[in-house]
Amino acid sequence: MTRRIGILTGGGDAPGLNAVIRAFVKTAKLRWDWRILGVEDSFNGLFSEPRRVHELDLVSCKGLLHRGGTFLGTTNRGDPFAFPQPDGSKRDITADLVAGFVELGLEGLVVIGGDGTQAIGLRLMRERGIPVVGVPKTIDNDLSATDYTFGFQSAVEVATEALDRLHTTAESHDRVMFLEVMGRDAGHIALSAGIAGGADIILLPEVPWDPERVAAKIRGRQSIGRPFSIVVVAEGALPVGCPTDLDERRKRLKSGGGAAAIAMANIEGRVDAEMRSTVLGHLQRGGSPVAFDRVLATRFGVAAADLVAEHRWGEMVRLSNGHVTSVPIEEAIATYRLVDIDGELVRTARATGIELGG
C-alpha cells in the first residue's frame, strides 16, 4: 500500500523551510512514490474543519528552493495541548487532531520546527500515538543537538550587511551606532555578525555587560582618532545587575524598550558622542536562504525521508561534525545551546580587540 506522510512547519519561520519541504517531497516521490500531504499552519491544518492540507508532488515543489518563509504557513501560538480559545482560555484539542490524522489516512508526520515544535511533536507521539520525525529549524542556532540549524547563516548575512551599511553612516557622522539583532536568549547571531561586520563592541545575553567597560572602549577609540563606534546588541543582552532568570530577563527587555535602547541609555551619559539605535527585527527572518542554508535544508529534507523510509520515528535529523545523522528528539530538545564564553569564537572576538563588556 502507498505510504501517506504529512509534513508541516511550526514556530517562527526561517529561510530554508521551503527547501526542506522540496527535498523531502522530491526524495519521497522519486525514490518511493509515497503520497505527501502538506499541512497548513503548523498542526492547525490537521484539526481545523475542514482540514487544511495540500497534496504535494514534484510540480508543487517548483520554484521553492530559494523562496523564503514557508509556503505551508506556520504559527508559534498553536500548541494543540493548550490551544488558545477566543475567550482567552486554553483547551486540549489533540482529540480533533488525531481524528484529522486518521481521517486523512496518514502514517506519520515530518515536523520541521524549533525546540517548542519538536516538544509538541514528541508529546503527540508519546501521548497520542502519532509517529513523528523531526527536522530542526531556527535562525537562533540554539539547538545543542545540531552544529547548525538552517536559517542561521541567512540571518547572519542580513545582520552583517546591516552592519556594513551602519559603518559608512557612523563614520560620516562620528556617531555611535547600536544594532539590535535577534537570537532570543542566545548570542550566536550577534557574535557571528559582529565579527563579520567589524563591530567594536558585541553585547551577548551570556555576558552581563559593564556599561563603564563599553564606554571606555568607545572613548579609547575616540582618543586614537576613531570617533565612531559600532555596537552589536543581542536582543537578550542586559547590563550587569539585571535579572538572570530567563522569564524575568524577557519581561525586563520588553518593558525597557529592547536591548539596544537599554544599551544606548546606559552609555549616553558616559561618552561625548551622538548615538543612534536600530532594531533589525524580522528583516533577519525574511528573504531567500543563502547557499549554505539551501544546501543544509536540502540535506535535512533527504535525511528526513530516509528516517521515514526506515521507520525511525521519534528521531530528528541533525548536522554533527559536518555529517548529517539523527538523534532521538527527546535528547535533541533536552539542552539549549548558548554561546560558549570560553569558546574559540569568543576568543577570536576578544583577540581582535572586540569589547564584550564583561
- Binding residues for ligand F6P, rule: CB under 6 A, are 12, 76, 138-140, 182-184, 235, 285
Identity of the residue, 221 or 285, whose beta carbon is nearer to ligand F6P in the bound complex: 285
Nearest approach in angstroms of CB 184 to ligand F6P is 4
Identity of the residue, 53 or 139, whose beta carbon is nearer to ligand F6P in the bound complex: 139
Identity of the residue, 234 or 303, whose beta carbon is nearer to ligand F6P in the bound complex: 234
Nearest approach in angstroms of CB 103 to ligand F6P is 31
Residues 6+ positions from 103 with CB-CB distance below 8 Å = 51
Q: Catalytic residue among 140, 142, 200, 293, which? A: 140
Identity of the residue, 61 or 190, whose beta carbon is nearer to ligand F6P in the bound complex: 190
Nearest approach in angstroms of CB 188 to ligand F6P is 10
**Closest residue to ligand F6P, based on beta-carbon distance:** 182
Active-site residue, 293 included: no
Nearest approach in angstroms of CB 273 to ligand F6P is 29
Active site residues: 140
